[in-house]
Structure 1
Amino acid sequence: MSSQLTPEDQARVDSVVNSGGHEVARRPFRPGVLLLLIMVVLMGLSGLSYYIAWSHGVV
């Protein structure tokens, strides 16, 4: 697929894309925190479901 831009236009596009003005600063991804969050939510929902079952006399 060939570019449909003139070399001058492509140079302007490249300068805008490489300027870094469109980038968003983000914190690094930490899988340990994500795993901890998932485990906390899972334990909370499990505790809630156990309480509901206990309050209805199922357990």
Structure 2
Amino acid sequence: MPSRLHPEDQKRVDQYLASPVHQVERRPFRVWILIALVVGSVVGLGLLSRLLAQLVAV
């Protein structure tokens, strides 16, 4: 997709994005940790709801 900016403006944008401030090292994304957190949250909230239901029913 061609840029809608003028070439001079695009050059300034490229220089800005290439500056060291915007070059942050990041750890690789680990999908299994995200899945474990989601499953753990769902199971934990399910157990909490069952516990609260038991307390209310008594």
TM-score (normalised: structure 1): 0.66
- Find runs of 4+ consecutive structure 1 residues off by over 4 angstroms: none
Identical positions, percent: 33
CA RMSD of aligned residues (A): 2.4
How do 1:3-14 and structure 2 match up within 5 A? 3=6, 5=8, 10=11, 13=12, 14=14
Structure 1: runs of 5 or more not aligned:
none
TM-score (normalised: structure 2): 0.67
Q: What is the total number of aligned residue pairs between the two structures? A: 52
Distance in 2 separating the partners of 1:52 and 1:18: 54
Confirm or deny that 1:44 pairs with 2:44. Answer: yes
Structure 2: runs of 5 or more not aligned:
none
Distance in 1 separating the partners of 2:5 and 2:56: 68
Query: Which has the larger helix fraction?
Result: 2
- Considering only CA atoms, is the larger Rg found in Structure 1 or Structure 2? 1
Deviations 1:13-57 (A, max 9, x none): 3455335x0211111111111000101111110010000001011
